[in-house]
Structure 1
Amino acid sequence: MIYSPQIKVPATYMRGGTSKGVFFNLTDLPEAAQVPGEARDALLLRVIGSPDPYGKQIDGMGGATSSTSKTVILSKTSQPDHDVDYLFGQVSIDKSFVDWSGNCGNLTAAVGAFAISSGLVDAERIPDNGIAMVRIWQANIKKTIIANVPITDGAVQETGDFVLDGVTFPAAEVQVEFLDPADGEGAMFPTGHLVDNLEVPGVGTLKATMINAGIPTIFVNAEEIGYQGTELQEAINGDAKALAMFESIRAHGAIRMGLISNIEEAATRQHTPKVAFVSKPKSYLSSSGKEVSEGDVDLLVRALSMGKLHHAMMGTAAVAIGTAAAIPGTLVNLAAGGGEKNAVRFGHPSGTLKVGAEAALQDGQWSVTKAIMSRSARVLMEGWVRVPVD
């Protein structure tokens, strides 16, 4: 039998925040993959190395975690007053599908740099030295994001002294602004309440804040589900019973949020919603052995992504945290001590992160104009990714 050779597709492998992904310029993709559909999904699955029943993604670019099983497609913007369109695909590790239902806030930090380096941003918008304000249209959730990218001698500045917990080495700081971050077109609180009683069969009735901001997220209290909020990955990811509990919470919360109509649909929507648990500040050792003291943080948050406890914090979930913290009465706000807040520093498994948000109550509905956090990004490798044509 004669087999066809692999094809070469121009690509860039980038770190953005605490995630990594394969970045593509839309026009560099094979023609059939330049439009949404099976051909595009099949290409991205093969690039990443999924579906992999071994869960390792050895035969692809993925790193066998939700943070490293990611793809990004960028193109010249289709929107007025924007620079680039950003489409994010979360690739399942062990199943044959790509989830297009949400954004990746971490990789957003790399979008501006890639757009500039790829010529997708008009040259007159890039200073010789200073900050380039890249206006990003997030096509998954139809929202505007501003990435403030440092520029030196007309090129993206990637090196620097900004330290991000969860990332080993320092780099240049990229401030990311999520404008009107309520996810999608629905209400920020789809149930109409800041706190709901969420019934989860086999678990019980839990207090829950369900919010659409950055990414749809379900927050519950750590103590109600038997945790302290200081847990690291190994305390949960090796516990099949715990993971099943979190998936049940996620699925039943998704129904209450109107994201799915029945429990079975949750299996085909792994990327959203997220589920997280919060607690008041406590001291703990981070995954790197760094001590996080009670006085260093306003609250503790642990979040799951694609069925596993995240090693740090998803960028979009950080937006949800900052937004919920800014609204008095949510579980996040109460864990942080209650009252009005425009920024919080929270503890996660790898350390701490500060996120700010501006919230206002208008006509009985909460809205948030902006959420802000700092990330870093850099190119790890660029050239071509090779893909078997089958």
Structure 2
Amino acid sequence: MTPPPQTRIAATYMRGGTSKGVFFKVEDLPEAARVPGPARDALLLRVIGSPDPYGKQIDGMGGATSSTSKTVLLSRSTRPDHDVDYLFGQVSIDKPFVDWSGNCGNLSAAVGPFAIANGMVDPARVPRNGLAVVRIWQANIGKTIIAHVPVTNGEVQETGDFELDGVTFLAAEVQLEFMDPAADEEGAGGAMFPTGRVVDDLDVPGVGTLRATMINAGIPTIFVDAASIGYTGSELQEAINGDAKALAMFETIRAHGAVRMGLIAHVDEAARRQHTPKVAFVAPPATYGASSGKTVHAGEVDLLVRALSMGKLHHAMMGTAAVAIGTAAAIPGTLVNLAAGGGVRTAVTFGHPSGTLRVGAEALEADGQWLVTKAVMSRSARVLMEGHVRVPLQP
């Protein structure tokens, strides 16, 4: 039997924030992959180079980390007052599945630029020079994101002087507004605090009872105090990712927190839902050395945060987790708010392994319930390569 030829598919490889991913227009995909299902997942797995028992993704576009094993599908939006529908797929590195349970806040920064460059935004709404406002429907969680994209001479401006810790080179700033960011995750009932409390006692077998803030905002996230699990909040990747016992502990926390949040019914289901929830640990400000070699001084930050993604400590901070941080910081009494000193806050600057990040949120209390109307942060984005990917698919 003659082996099948490679399928050629139009694609763009983009950096968004501190992540990279392969971007597709849904209309460019093979017909069977234009709808959710096994054909779509198989295609994206093969594009990225998963599952790879070696953990390197050598035979694909992935970069062997959670930050670089990502895919984005875009189409013109049929929703009123939106320009583009955005669907994010987190591709497992060593297992044969694509996790569609959440958003990628970092790659959200690249959606607006891609949409403008690919004619998915009404040209009448794109200024010759200035900021184009792109209205994005985030289909994974059913939320609106507003991107403010710089445009120069009618084209997306990618270069500039905006510095983002975790990204080596300067670029143009893209401001993102995550509207009504409390995540509508299946099983979580859409509640910002699914347990009804801003702090809970979370029983974790083999670890103990931990105080935890479990929040649905940006992405479902479980926050614990760094000191309660033996950390300072100033750790870099090597302190966690080379410690199998530590990684197992965080996964146990994540699984039991997911059950308490109503995201899964049993801890065994966590292995099939790697993208959400996230686990993060927080600590008060302290001086530490970032992975870039620069010193982050205690006076520069309101708190320290470290977060895990797909089972590993993230090299910087996931954009959606940053939304969760900003939201939790704005609500008095959460562990994030307390680590930042407590009180009413509309923005925080937090320290992460690569440096610092500022995120803001607008919160209000009504009838005993906290509401956040939007969270705001700045990222940058850039096209790395455009053209076609080639994939050996069975007919």
Normalising by structure 2, report the TM-score.
0.98
Residue 212 of structure 2 is aligned to residue 208 of structure 1: yes
- Residue 44 (structure 2) aligns with: 44
In the alignment, which of 343, 360, 367 is matched to residue 364 of structure 2? 360
Q: Which residue number corresponds to residue 182 of structure 1?
A: 182
Aligned match of 2:55: 55
For residue 53 of structure 1, give the secondary structure of its aligned residue in structure 2.
coil
Instruction: Please list the CA deviations of residues 260-310 of structure 1 after superposition, one character each: whole Å capped at 9, or x if unmatched.
Output: 000110000000000000000000000010100000100000000000000
Displacement of 1:4 in angstroms is 1.2
Q: Matches of residues 49-128 of structure 1 in structure 2 within 5 Å?
A: 49-128=49-128
What one-letter code is carried by the residue in structure 2 that aligns with 1:125? Answer: R
Residue 78 (structure 1) shift: 2.2
Hey, what's the Cα distance between the residues in 1 that align with 2:218 and 2:367? 22
Which runs of no fewer than 5 residues in structure 2 stay unpaired?
none
For residues 15-73 of structure 1, what are the alpha-carbon distances to aligned partners after superposition, in whole Å with 9 as ceiling and x for unaligned?
00000000000000000000000000000000000000000000000000000000000
| Aligned equivalents of 2:367, 2:216: Cα separation in 1 | 18
Alignment RMSD: 0.5
The answer for the alignment partner of 2:197 in structure 1 is: 193
Q: Tell which deviates more after alignment, 278-287 or 184-193.
A: 184-193
Cα distance in structure 2, aligned partners of 1:2 and 1:94 = 29
The equivalent residue for 1:257 is 261
Residue 389 of structure 1: CA displacement? 1.3
User: In the aligned structure 1, how far is the partner of 2:26 from the partner of 2:5?
Assistant: 22
1:306 matched to 2:310: yes
Match for 1:275 among 276, 279, 286? 279
Question: How far apart, CA to CA, are the structure 2 residues paired with 1:361 and 1:56?
Answer: 47
Distance 2:263 2:367 in 1: 25
Question: Equivalents in 2 of 1:365, 1:71: separation in Å?
Answer: 35
Return 5+ residue gaps in structure 1 as ranges. none
Deviation at 1:319, TM superposition (A): 0.1
Aligned-partner residue type, residue 215 of structure 1: I
Q: What is residue 20 of structure 1 aligned with on the other side?
A: 20
What fraction of aligned residue pairs are identical, expressed as a percent?
Answer: 79
Q: Which residue of 1 aligns with 2:384?
A: 380
Aligned residue for 2:153?
A: 153
Deviations 1:328-351 (A, max 9, x none): 000000000000000000000000
2:67 match: secondary structure: coil
Separation in structure 2 between the aligned mates of residue 3 and residue 343 of structure 1, nearest angstrom: 56
Structure 1 runs of 4+ aligned residues shifted over 4 Å read none
Shift of 1:2: 1.5
Give the structure 2 partner of residue 240 of structure 1: 244
Partners in 2 of 1:363 and 1:104 — Cα distance? 31
Range 1-10 or range 319-328, more displaced: 1-10
In structure 1, what is the equivalent of residue 332 of structure 2? 328
Structure 2 residue matching 1:89: 3-state secondary structure: strand
Aligned length: 390
